Each structure stands twice: as structure tokens, then as C-alpha cells.
């Protein structure tokens, strides 16, 4: 598993992405919103806006950012053992089922964070 965050480490949320992924949600994909293409639902721009807001009002904004970071990252950490257990059980049945399960889990986690942010 790879914990990935967009933009600055201090104002991002690290999301668990499993190595078995077939794809990521469109909003998180490379090229969907970049330095030259603004998309208000692209992870690149959402996290960029939060980071810039934090730069402007650091003392007032960072406590709220840290609180939400901790809530989300702690949730994913608590889910990891059970997620891995379920994926292993599916893998013994079919590697493709395990891959689909992990792809779905990572995609849902990514969208939960993006919608929250």
C-alpha cells in the first residue's frame, strides 16, 4: 500500500492506495486538472486551494486542517487490518476479486477525502 497525498505535506490527507489498482478516480488521475487546466473537482486543485488558504491564515486554519487530517487518516489506519484480511480472503478465491475489492476501497477512500476537503 502507498499512502498518497496531494500538494503540501502539512495540509494534505494521505490516502491509502493499494498497488493492485487498475485505476484511480478520475478526479485523482494524472492530467485531470493541472497547472494549466483548472477543474474545481480535481484533487490537484482542491488540495492546492486548501494549502493556499492555510498560507494566508495559518494560525486560524491549520488547527481545523489538522483535526480533519487526523480523523480521516486515523479512520483509514483503523480499517487497514480488516481491509487486508478481506482482500486476502478474496485473493484465495480469485486474485481479480481481490484486486477489484482493493480498487474499490482505495477509490472510495480517495473520494471521501476529496469531498471532505
Q: What is the pLDDT of residues 34-80, one digit of tens each?
A: 888 899 999 999 999 999 999 999 999 999 999 999 999 999 999 99
Q: What is the pTM of this model?
A: 0.92
Q: How far is CA 70 from the centre of its chain?
A: 13
pLDDT of residue 35: 85
Is the distance from CB of 43 to CB of 114 less than 8 angstroms? yes
Are β-strands 2-4 and 15-17 bridged in parallel, bridged antiparallel, or unpaired? antiparallel
**Average confidence score pLDDT of the chain:** 95
pLDDT of residue 34: 83
Q: Is the confidence at residue 20, as pLDDT, over 90?
A: no
d(CA 104, CA 99): 8
Amino acid at each position: 500500500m502507498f499512502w498518497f497525498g496531494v500538494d503540501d505535506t502539512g495540509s494534505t490527507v494521505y490516502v491509502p492506495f493499494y498497488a493492485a489498482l487498475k485505476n484511480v478516480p478520475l478526479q485523482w488521475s494524472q492530467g485531470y486538472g493541472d497547472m494549466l487546466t483548472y477543474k474545481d473537482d480535481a484533487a490537484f486543485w482542491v488540495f492546492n486551494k486548501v494549502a493556499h488558504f492555510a498560507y494566508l491564515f495559518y494560525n486560524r486554519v491549520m488547527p481545523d486542517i489538522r483535526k480533519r487530517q487526523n480523523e480521516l487518516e486515523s479512520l483509514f489506519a483503523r480499517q487497514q487490518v480488516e481491509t487486508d484480511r478481506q482482500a486476502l480472503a478474496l485473493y484465495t478465491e480469485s486474485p481479480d476479486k481481490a484486486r477489484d475489492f482493493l480498487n474499490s476501497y482505495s477509490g472510495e477512500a480517495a473520494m471521501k477525502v476529496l469531498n471532505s476537503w
